[in-house]
Structure 1
Amino acid sequence: MSRVFRVPVAPARSGGARRYDTTERPSAEPTPARAGIVAGVLSPHPPHLIYAENPPQNEPRSTGGWEVLRWAYERLRKRIREVHRPDVLIVHAPHWITMVGHHVNCVPNPRGVSVEPIFPHLFRYSYDFRTDVELGEAIADEATDLGLVTRKLHDPRVRVDYATIGALHLVNPAWDIPVVSLSANNNPYFYSEASLEEMEVLGEATRRAVERTGRRAVLLASNSLSHLHWHEEPELPEDMEREHPYNNHQYRWDMKLLEAIRRGPTAPLRELITEHIEATASETKAGSLTWMLAAMGWPQVPGDVMGYGTIIGTGNAVVEWTPEGGHRG
């Protein structure tokens, strides 16, 4: 993987895009004491959860369903509002797929309709949000300087994918916090020797950019866990009688991963995430979870598993990590 989509680390650029180096230097405006990555969240994006909530932005209407996961998101929203108070939400999602390198959405005000291609009868969502362009460009510059092939997306015609929209809505349905969204390089799905190493580099770039720009950031890894799913749904999509794990093997592996998360620290997850991917076709193969934990420096604390549930058979968990390991709410 590294030899396909990484380039030699270049010297600092003169002119053009700004370089944020890591050497100490005087600053006219010191970074606030509490700036940095204040939390990271595993925030799965199944469209069913938004469908079940009936927000005004989503056209289809439902009778509810998947309450355990939706209640977990309600608790998470309260923590974000009352505890973390971020300046920005940074999301990495597996369905903004880029075949070459990593892209950062730097469009100031993305607007449009996002449609889930497999479940258009559940998810037709009108979005309108603000991008933290300065931070997005800083992440792209840091990633380039660390040797990743990176591009800044400035095309206002961009259509934002449903995984990005889903995670952002479920964490902040008011849409009043600026956003930076990152693409998922699809190389792992085509090269058997690929690893998650590159996502750790992207995480380091994200951390550097957040700290240099003085933001308070919450990171969102928009991944499900086990990802085998049913190919037919019931006549009523929210019929909870039909909802259960795809099979016991998938469920037990999800529990193995979540028990390790609950125990902490996160460093052993480096290997366990890879094992889980091989055992369950996990959506973490897109790298979002690895990116987030790497950006946080692989926290020495347990994750708070706020809820777990299945959606069309796939495993989904809402999990929060904080740098200090403190959880309130």
Structure 2
Amino acid sequence: MSRVFHLPAGSTRSGARRAAASPSGPGPAAAPGPGPRRGGIVAGYLAPHPPHLVYAENPPQNEPRSTGGWEVLRWGYEELRRRLRAHRPDVLVVHAPHWITMVGHHVNCVPNPRGVSVEPIFPHLFRYHYDFRTDVELAEAVVEEGERAGLVTSALREEGVRVDYATIGALHLANPDWDLPVVSLSANNNPYYYSDASLGEMETLGAATRRAIERTGRRAVLLASNSLSHMHWDTEPDLPEDMAAEHPFSHEQYAGDMELLQIVREGPTSRLKDAIPRHIGATASETKAGSLTWLLAAMGWPEVAGDVLAYGTVIATGNAVVEWVAP
């Protein structure tokens, strides 16, 4: 694992931060003692966040209006929503590549984030008014477990900080009713600058997330908010939802996605430990931010296959909606 990310576990700085932690805000109460109800991670989803998918749905929270588009991916999300409900989760935990932090891993501990999330490249598609609850107890537990594992972790408690569009996009597409509390994690951006950084860091964060979920007794569903191949157009059609202009960036990018998804479909997930880095090198994949590795590590790299619910391109980037169910 990279030297860049690590501090000795239980440092003076992290200990002081835990001592100053605020009490839990809105969110589900911790599960009672031993009983029939079982906590833990029940499922994980690769849940890409292209703002175009939210735009195409015309939800009341998003200001721009659309005539549709990207239906196959949106149908995949409809199936994701149906399955998510069947898992009866207490909380959604999301890792998103566009909440970028340069030092360590941050966890949103603001009880009720509210505001407008704007996609900086496509503000004409995504200006989304959000208002949701954070499971603060679980969020604080993730911070603590990350510190115990030797990670640099921080609790975001500043009211009014704008939530990034990748977090909002994945959460809306998975649960447009916004009736479940959330824990959101940042993406440390060091892999884009330091050659000695590795996805092993995300395995540590995933294991810490799992311990926090089990410790608090939550039934959790995880969302990895990233696309696959990430080469994209630098212009768009006059009508953004014109599907005549939508296709893969290149055959090589498409073929790389299909190679990875075939391994996903065959299983077990342990094969993806080698396949994900290869895919990143071949396709400039957004999984470089670590969201998918975090999800699978949190689930313990289960000996199961993933269920690919949909695949499609958005401005030429490859996007797959995939489910893994905990054994």
Structure 2: distance between partners of 1:118 and 1:28: 45
| Unaligned residue ranges in structure 1 (runs of 5+) | 19-26, 325-329
**Structure 1 residue 31, shift from structure 2 partner:** 6.8
Query: Of the candidates 219, 222, 237, which is equivalent to residue 219 of structure 1?
Result: 222
**Structure 1 residue 32, shift from structure 2 partner:** 5.4
CA contact (8 A) 1:266 1:301 kept: yes
CA contact (8 A) 2:206 2:294 kept: yes
**Structure 1 residue 4, shift from structure 2 partner:** 1.1
Structure 1: distance between partners of 2:324 and 2:151: 26
Aligned to 2:67: 63
Structure 2: distance between partners of 1:13 and 1:213: 20
- The residue type equivalent to 1:296 in the other structure is M
CA contact (8 A) 2:227 2:320 kept: yes
Structure 2: distance between partners of 1:28 and 1:312: 47
1:31/1:103 Cα in 2 relative to 1: closer, same or farther (>3 Å)?
A: farther
1:299 aligns with 2:299: no
Aligned to 1:36: 40
Aligned to 2:81: 77
Structure 2: distance between partners of 1:314 and 1:80: 25
Q: Deviations over 1:125-165 (max 9, x none)?
A: 00000000000000000000000000000001210000000
- Figure out how many residues of one structure are paired with residues of the other and give that number: 315
Query: Of the candidates 239, 246, 249, which is equivalent to residue 246 of structure 1?
Result: 249
**Structure 1 residue 7, shift from structure 2 partner:** 1.4
Which contiguous aligned blocks of 4+ residues in structure 1 show a shift greater than 3 angstroms?
10-15
**Structure 1 residue 78, shift from structure 2 partner:** 0.7
1:278 aligns with 2:281: yes
Structure 2: distance between partners of 1:280 and 1:135: 35
Aligned to 1:3: 3
Aligned to 2:239: 236
Aligned to 1:16: 19
**Cα RMSD after superposing both structures:** 1.7
**Structure 1 residue 33, shift from structure 2 partner:** 4.2
**Structure 1 residue 10, shift from structure 2 partner:** 3.2
Query: Of the candidates 114, 138, 155, which is equivalent to residue 117 of structure 2?
Result: 114
CA contact (8 A) 1:32 1:214 kept: no
After TM superposition, the score normalised by the length of structure 2 is 0.93
After TM superposition, the score normalised by the length of structure 1 is 0.93
Output aligned runs, 1:196-211, within 5 Å. Answer: 196-211=199-214
Q: Give the SS at the match of 2:19.
A: coil
Q: Give the SS at the match of 2:106.
A: strand
Q: Give the SS at the match of 1:306.
A: strand
